[in-house]
Structure 1
């Protein structure tokens, strides 16, 4: 460990009582050994050789290193990969979207999905095609570098940065500057685990800074633009909300500040020895923001400017529908892409449309897309054309506010359906309740990794397994409640466990019916579920209590 060790947070014991050595770290953590033997970022030079090698003859260590270049095994592991294209702030030009669509159509069986980090993912990629694909991406200013692996992942932002009249200031130049500095920077390609940043000045904080390793929230101090900083957020198997670091960082200091933060975390070998505890959130949890701030200041050699308060979000939005831009006479239009799937052919058609009638395309955290720069006279034409392409605007808003991870059939971690299950569930609720569920956010994951952010949905659902009456394993789901983002930011908790897949729609229907019948004026699902204990909510979901007769229903 380099540098003085921060004091433990009161009431928390250090995981390691003595400094570790790199030798011990690499013995305990095989991924650290693999990275030491060959830095994954350097594998780019070997791609032609790997592409010419039979898949089964490629060492498994090199398969792991491919993650640093955005390539993950598809399921089953028979030689095809998911490729993730890294898109800073979710912004692509029509030309860039067209080339992604072309890659999908030529090499990825026309597959495509929008991720919750504003990336595009393509499946069915074969290694023999990767050099040609990377050439196409590079020619159009696109990259997969660091889209996976122990590295800085895609930097997310408000998808309407630079367009929305309510934003405090335009953060696009700062997202771009950070991407240009860090994305291909070998010096920061070996972190203890993946690391996630988000940066925006959206008044709604639609980019969810509270669940990021580092959330940079636009604010003003003494008339100067800059950022409040949240640290230590994250989901997966140990979810926690980020905490204020208590500092103000002006734009011109962002790179130095973030370099120091990465170096403080990366140099502490405690967070490399145990891969399950290697995320930055565990360091923040152990020591607290003040100790982390102190170490960053020591690394910088100067104090950071203090900031007492982090701006609160004004509400919640998915930026869907038709909205005037601050550029006079222009509009942006947010289209639901339910459930986050977009084919290569659709990408190319959207690119053609935007090239004629718009400016660029933005991908959102909720797996939707936004067409920008549309003239007033062209709005109806664009809306009609997008509907013909499969993205109608006149659908129930629940489709734009609900998300699902990749899941089956592609993800090796998933134990059940996600996107097909979300579609079935939403369609069932629409038939039962219609537009009454318009504001509901359903987040569905196929495993605990929480790519679909089930911990913070109005109704969070996580895939698992159960046993039937014969003792055989069947797909099932846990249902989590009381999670949320923004002003009601909170981590949900499981209320119904191991619900058989065939019964999930009934459980959720009864729960939603209970909420719609008994909610107070303007009451959110999260606030409503907080008014009722687990036993009441479970009884409703299981059908043991009617919505109007559950104990405390009118409390």
Structure 2
């Protein structure tokens, strides 16, 4: 049977009918093909701010137009959070309005993960005043608040914008926060600090309507050091040295996880730092014009890369959006394992930076306020958020590091965590997320505590990423142990919270290690209550069977199924 989206016209309708294809604007397919596209066509999502300030915040939650509530609010960093008491079995059954609570998750952008002391204190104060003391550090270097009322949103905006922060385009079909190295500008190994390029992108394009209506979200990373998960981004710039032209950035594209994971690949192009904003904007325009808008499930840039290939994407970028060829360049040097910057490290100026680890990014306004006090008392005025849900304090004099570490410990932030506390990440989970099926944050905290107790004698380095649904916000597929939330049969045959298990995932690293998604062995699942038993068992098997220097991911590839079960 012919596909009426791409084939010939149906009989008798040749004059009026046009093939829809994938809804690509560049091919003339401008008519919205789903409700999300209609919402964006009917009104620029950026216009919703005025309605929030002048109408919704004054008249309350019940006054909010549904198209704004479930669509355009995202462009202002707002999602309705999950109504308490709705179990995971009803996540995919109920309509959005049935899942909605009358409170919001608010996402505050921190492009490059950079915060000064005034910004940190402001976030902490807002958390305590308006968000029931909630504050989560995300794996994209944002801070998320919960329990936010629509009546309080204008006051929150006024306070965060007064210190240079924003929620604009923190969500939505637009360019999300730009990830960057949390040690940009201070790292000894950094040759070029791309912070000015990140700032130029934000100052020039954030809030520009021409860049705010994309087929889906657009995630990007700009860093000299390969210390961001660059292969999971739609677009990434990674530092490299051209043999003739010197330091610049290698261009990667087409990455993204969720239910159809794909790792970004090199375009083979070398970009000097001053050209990063231009190239970034050109890729966004390419995505805007050629991205697929027919099906939301195929609207990320990775699907265009999969269909076209990197060579055609680069050719189109050069011919149609830059008007010039890009310079060919070499691949970057990659580390042997992910870099999270936890602990004490030397800066190029002789000072130190100190990285601390809340468990799975879960913190609070109270904790952040105590951290701000400790930072200031020990002579620093800058902190950074990492894409591994960690917090760094910059510019610490060597003699002040130990007193600072002690003070941060009192705030629940450890600079010398166990490997389990250090290497565990989690998404928001069923506590607040309307897409989630299982609990994640509290589960991660209890898992870390239990495994620390059980495996105190074991010297292993294993990452555990906990996700509440298949969308992989916690990068499930590229962890040593990735846990995808789902309902599983319990001991008495009833369904209970549990996880499908992915093993041995990871991003491109040195030593010839490959980037790949974790193995999914048929039937390898665990209930949430049995999760500590599983993690203990597989960790002990690895410790017993590994060879000298063998990573967990390498061991998984050769281990028998019994050892992995």
Q: CA deviation at 1:182?
A: 2.2
Counterparts of residues 32-181 of structure 1 (less than 5 Å): 32-48=37-53, 49-63=55-69, 64-76=71-83, 77-181=100-204
Counterpart CA distance in 1 for 2:287 and 2:417 is: 45
Instruction: Summarize the Cα distance change of 1:70–1:129 in structure 2 as closer, same or farther, 3 Å threshold.
Output: same
Q: Which residue of 2 aligns with 1:290?
A: 311
Unaligned runs of 5+ in 2: 1-18, 84-99
Counterpart CA distance in 2 for 1:361 and 1:41 is: 30
Q: Which residue of 2 aligns with 1:499?
A: 526
Q: CA deviation at 1:345?
A: 1.4
Counterparts of residues 127-526 of structure 1 (less than 5 Å): 127-202=150-225, 205-221=226-242, 222-268=244-290, 271-298=292-319, 299-328=321-350, 330-356=351-377, 357-434=379-456, 436-468=458-490, 472-487=494-509, 488=513, 489-495=515-521, 496-526=523-553
Counterpart CA distance in 1 for 2:39 and 2:64 is: 14
Q: CA deviation at 1:422?
A: 1.6
Counterpart CA distance in 1 for 2:363 and 2:68 is: 30
Secondary structure, counterpart of 1:434 in structure 2? coil
Superimposed CA distance per residue, residues 301-354 of structure 1 (whole angstroms, 9 cap, x where no aligned partner): 1111112434333543211111111112x1100111112112111212222222
TM-score scaled by length of structure 2: 0.88
Q: Which residue of 2 aligns with 1:552?
A: none
Q: CA deviation at 1:470?
A: 5.8
Counterpart CA distance in 1 for 2:24 and 2:200 is: 36
Counterpart CA distance in 2 for 1:497 and 1:73 is: 33
Q: Is the 8 Å Cα contact of residues 24 and 290 (structure 2) preserved in structure 1?
A: no
Counterpart CA distance in 2 for 1:198 and 1:130 is: 28
Q: CA deviation at 1:401?
A: 1.9
How many corresponding residue pairs?
521
Q: Is the 8 Å Cα contact of residues 20 and 29 (structure 2) preserved in structure 1?
A: no
**Pairwise CA RMSD:** 2.1
Q: CA deviation at 1:355?
A: 2.4
Q: Is the 8 Å Cα contact of residues 70 and 148 (structure 1) preserved in structure 2?
A: yes
Counterpart CA distance in 2 for 1:319 and 1:274 is: 39
Q: Is the 8 Å Cα contact of residues 478 and 507 (structure 2) preserved in structure 1?
A: yes
Q: CA deviation at 1:426?
A: 2.3
Q: Is the 8 Å Cα contact of residues 24 and 293 (structure 2) preserved in structure 1?
A: no
**Structure 1 residue 530 and structure 2 residue 560: aligned?**
no
Superimposed CA distance per residue, residues 100-122 of structure 1 (whole angstroms, 9 cap, x where no aligned partner): 11111110001000000000000
Q: Is the 8 Å Cα contact of residues 23 and 33 (structure 2) preserved in structure 1?
A: no
Counterpart CA distance in 2 for 1:374 and 1:287 is: 48
Counterpart CA distance in 2 for 1:223 and 1:300 is: 20
Counterpart CA distance in 2 for 1:78 and 1:230 is: 39
Q: Is the 8 Å Cα contact of residues 24 and 289 (structure 2) preserved in structure 1?
A: no
Counterpart CA distance in 2 for 1:121 and 1:512 is: 32
Counterpart CA distance in 2 for 1:413 and 1:19 is: 28
Unaligned runs of 5+ in 1: 1-13, 543-555
> Which 4+ runs in 1 deviate beyond 4 A?
17-27
Q: Is the 8 Å Cα contact of residues 60 and 150 (structure 2) preserved in structure 1?
A: no
Q: Which residue of 1 aligns with 2:34?
A: 29
